[in-house]
Copies of this chain bind each other. A is one copy, B any other.
Amino acid sequence: MNVQEHIEMFGTIDSELRIGGQPLSRLAARVGSTPFFAYDRGLLDARVDLLRRLLPARIELSYAMKANPMPAVVQHLASRVDRIDVASAGEMQHALDTGIRPDRVSFAGPGKTPAEIRQAVAAGIIVEIESPTELGRVIAAGEELSVEPRIAIRVNPDFAVKGSGMRMGGGPQQFGIDAEQVPDLLASFAGGADILGFHVFAGSQNLNAEIIAEAQNQTVDLVAQLADALPAPLRYLNLGGGFGIPYTERDAPLDLETVAANLERLVSGPIAERFPDARPVIELGRFLVGECGVYVTRVVDRKVSRGRTFLVVDGGMHHQLAASGNFGQAIRRNYPVVVGSRLSSPAGEEMSIVGCLCTPLDLLADGIALPADAAIDDLVVIFQQGAYGLTASPTAFLGHPAPAEVLI
């Protein structure tokens, strides 16, 4: 997906990028300081609408708020999706602040502390068990609090998914309980919690629809085998998500139609036959919010060193760890970047954009074509920043102020 397509998704006003209906310079004036993150409410809604339109009606959407825990974003989505998934007791508090029903909140992640599990049981959310130890802790917390805990078992599948940005299932994993261990665990279960069902998640940031569809098929097969051992009918069937978004020019967007067609087949076929009480859940973080956000940073200096032109901006890697190539990437590739205040100028000169940190890691764009007249005070925009931006970056590094975040 190229830069022009990203620009078109947001739109333009005169020679500026449009964000939430406003020209970039006016939004920057409203925010009052750079750098900042801006999330476009209309694009968020459009993304939810797209999913609702294409996916089978019986599918529930869960928002994995780890992708973007900004309270206004979580609040906005809380009324538009069916569930929220949290990754810590801290996230759980923000999810519950939205007014969502506790039984619509799930809590996944290895290493839940006894204190976190006690909080989750007290709240009445669904705790996704990642180990036999966690099951014991949940039951103990339920007894202590006189509450029947709601739980699901997170399963580490016996298959792996190729082509994911991050593989999270198959082989030895810290995530979930190995599929082959689940029957024994359920056989030894002596009550003390309501086991609603299963969560199987094999990998994230996948752009290949066929692979996602195949993983969903294998997941339904696996759950069909495991469900026999459940003490009650299956009421929770979390198929994971892993829908990717295109970060670089060589990435093509996910073919959502293909994924949707396969889900339709599963929902009307094996799921309807086998699990009439369950509405399957697709859990999405990055795919829901990632493309709706931008990072805006101001040019502080323009300098030429030994033939190379640098734009030095007031933001940097401390807010943009992934764009700098330091968030799990084996190879650094440029994210889509424009000078958002000069969209009419032809991109004719090769430049690098570097942040204000005193480290060579702080590289936001390496040798890309930008307007030759790009100058101090111009606003640089990095796309695909709605997910894993601010909170996935080392914000305290070098003591710069925290950036603002706005939902517009």
Contact = CB atoms under 8 A, between A and B. Distances in A.
A112 B300 contact: yes
A108 B133 CA distance: 50
Contact of A308 (B87, B172, B327): B172
A390 interface: yes
Interface in A313-366: 313-314, 316, 321, 326-328, 352, 354-361
Nearest to A69: B399
Interface string A157-174: 000000000111001111
A66 interface: yes
A109 to B, nearest CB: 4
Nearest to A355: B111
Contacts of A396: 390-391, 395
A112 to B, nearest CB: 7
A398 B172 contact: no
Contacts of A91: 398-399
A394 interface: yes
A262 interface: no
Contact of A306 (B172, B321, B356): B172
A270 B398 CA distance: 35
B305 A111 contact: no
Interface in A200-227: none
Contacts of A276: none
A186 B272 CA distance: 79
A130 B305 CA distance: 11
Interface string A292-318: 000000001111011110101110100
A212 to B, nearest CB: 18
Contacts of A399: 66, 69, 86-91, 94, 391
Given A88-B400, A174-B360, 11 more contacts: A88-B399, A90-B398, A109-B357, A111-B355, A131-B301, A166-B359, A168-B360, A172-B307, A172-B308, A321-B321, A392-B397
